[in-house]
Amino acid sequence: MAPRTREVSGARPGARGSLSHLDSRGRARMVDVAAKSVTRRESIARAEVHMAKATAAQISEGRLSKGDVLATARIAGIQAAKRTHEWIPLAHPLSLDAIRVELSPDAARGCVRIEVRVLAHARTGVEMEALVAAAAAGLTIYDMCKSVDRGITLERVRLVRKSGGKSGTWLRRGEGRVGRAR
């Protein structure tokens, strides 16, 4: 049986009215995933870092005094994905199979587009790992460029695709081709 794919722009259709990280008394808890099957889980997240066109040009040309912004941001994203459970209190520590962080500077538009793909064989999804990695890569770009541009913003951190587990595949509507930062 082929996995189903859902494409939505907001809340999951048919989602239960309860939140899985709350117990029957409304207290926060870590979800028990012991009974879930280990499956291939993959998530893709994106973010954008907007800045002055001159700053984006300096990043593209490798002219910032702090060093290679893109290489540092890529490493930050990878490291953050591996340590997501330390950032997000109720996230499970996971052994990740692969993390890919793609950074696409666009000097003409004054931005760097970020796309992160995380893969694991696990009992729970890797959405948070992809989202945390995208945010960390973006924040690292800000940190390395703030001396030349205080107006930098990290925007549109979002999940664009997830697959695996009982719920199958989910794809955010309107994201275009998945697999390359856009």
Radius of gyration from C-alpha coordinates of the chain: 18
| Catalytic choice (97, 106, 143, 149) | 143
* CATH class of domain segment(s) 37-172: alpha beta
User: Is 143 designated active site?
Assistant: yes
Q: What is the pLDDT of residues 133-147, one digit of tens each?
A: 999 999 999 999 999
Q: What is the pLDDT of residues 4-63, one digit of tens each?
A: 555 544 444 444 445 576 667 777 677 767 778 888 999 999 999 999 999 999 998 888
Determine contact, residues 96/111, Cβ cutoff 8 Å.
Answer: no
Do the strands 169-172 and 111-122 form a parallel or antiparallel pair, or are they unpaired? unpaired
